[in-house]
Amino acid sequence: MGRSMIKRLLNRLFTAAVVLLAAAAAPAQKRALVAVPDLPGYKTLKCDFHLHTVFSDGEVWPTTRVMEAWRDGLDAIAITDHDDYHPHKDDVSVNLARVHQIALPAAERAGILLVPGVEISKGDIHFNALFVTDANAFTGLDLTSALTAAKKQGAFLFWNHPGWRGPTVWQPVIEAAHKDGMVHGVELVNGRTFYAEAFPWIGPKKLAILANTDAHAPLPAEQRLGQRPVTLVFARSADLEGIREALTARRTVAWMDDHLWGSAELLKGLWEGAVKPLTAEARLEGRIVRLPFRNGSSIPFEAQLVGKPTWLTGKGTIHPQSESVLALRAGPVPPGGEEAATVELEITNLHPAPGENLRLTLPVRIAARK
């Protein structure tokens, strides 16, 4: 064996040893367990449909987005790089089909559903197109032409960050696209921003609600600003077709920090799947009535007594993945000493419509006197 061959062999052994040592020293990846109940007939999927990589103006490789999604307890993502903005083009291909090709094997290994997507970026108006079959078909087109091309591919289209560089208003170009069946949803939450002015559009214009990170930089393992915003998708099947059908049917809820936005039916389903009252009868102890609950989900519920019974007041948090007691203070005791009360609660962090919170009734017998 020649000296040069021995040198090459030693170099390879040294490199392999360094890699093994680095792998041994690296901390193990830990997956967050985000508990969200399934609804009857539906699987609840935790999704982020707006992510960027170095193939446009992001700072990470496509596989990094998959690993972050696995770590954060997500079920599905879409990597949606810009169609017409490629600041790294001197170093990275502008072929957006490569993004999905690179990320897909990692997603399959991690059990993450990967939705093919692209961000159609035309001036200050951006749309995400999901389930595209040709991610490169929109380059150089104007907005209407690009949306039309996406519609021909059968894409699901939603308007990103509608108040990004100006007031959040339903613009004429958006109205024209909506009439042509090319606006299927709106990003109500983008990163740390909630677009309150867009919430009134949801019902009248029959739009799906979405909440996404729009991440460009690496996502930290422990986000100091709170939980990663996600779109909850209620799918008949935990696969791509299930996601597509659920988005089209508008079975989605936006979740950022401790607040959720969606239809009353879906929000009530989350409550009923997550929270179990631990008593059917509560007794007045001094001036306090205590209602215990078990919350098996990762969602906190901010509950406030409203309506009946009128002689009780109080509010409190039903904490995630724990047992909590809602303590209600009694006013004048009703005549007769006992009341088979229907306790009415308002969940102040669940929002079915602008200016509204979810209201619930609980059949609880209140023993006002011992």
User: In whole angstroms, what is the distance from residue 333 CA to residue 341 CA?
Assistant: 13
* The residue type at 2: G
Q: Kindly report, residue by residue over 155-214, the tens digit of the pLDDT.
A: 999 999 999 999 999 999 999 999 999 999 999 999 999 999 999 999 999 999 999 999
Q: What are phi and psi of 97, to 5 degrees?
A: -65, -25
Contacts of 146 (CB under 8 A, 6+ apart): 83, 120, 122, 127, 138
User: Can you give the residue ranges of every domain in the chain?
Assistant: 26-262, 274-367
Instruction: Give me the chain's average pLDDT, please.
Output: 90
- pLDDT at 55 (0 to 100): 98
User: In whole angstroms, what is the distance from residue 62 CA to residue 53 CA?
Assistant: 6
Site of tokens 């109500």: 188
Across the range 282-301, mean pLDDT stands at: 92
- pLDDT at 14 (0 to 100): 37
- pLDDT at 212 (0 to 100): 98
Identify which of 254, 125, 119, 267 has the alpha carbon closest to the alpha carbon of residue 189.
Answer: 254
**26-262, superfamily in CATH?**
Metal-dependent hydrolases (3.20.20.140)
- pLDDT at 284 (0 to 100): 81
Instruction: Look at 147-151, 160-164, 191-195, 310-314 and tell me which has the smallest mean pLDDT.
Output: 310-314
Site of tokens 């009128």: 310
Q: Answer yes or no: same fold for 26-262 and 274-367.
A: no
Identify which of 270, 247, 238 has the alpha carbon closest to the alpha carbon of residue 347.
Answer: 270
User: In whole angstroms, what is the distance from residue 103 CA to residue 98 CA?
Assistant: 8
Instruction: Look at 83-87, 218-222, 258-262, 327-331 and tell me which has the smallest mean pLDDT.
Output: 218-222
pLDDT greater than 70 at residue 368: no
- pLDDT at 283 (0 to 100): 80
Check whether domain 274-367 has CATH 2.60.40.10, yes or no: yes
User: In whole angstroms, what is the distance from residue 149 CA to residue 151 CA?
Assistant: 5
**CA-to-CA dists, residue 47 to 50, 65, 268, 306, angstroms:** 9, 12, 20, 33
What is the model's pTM?
A: 0.90
- pLDDT at 27 (0 to 100): 45
| Distance between start and end Cα atoms, the chain | 96
Asked whether 209 and 254 are in contact (CB, 8 A), the reply is yes
User: In whole angstroms, what is the distance from residue 292 CA to residue 10 CA?
Assistant: 67
- pLDDT at 331 (0 to 100): 82
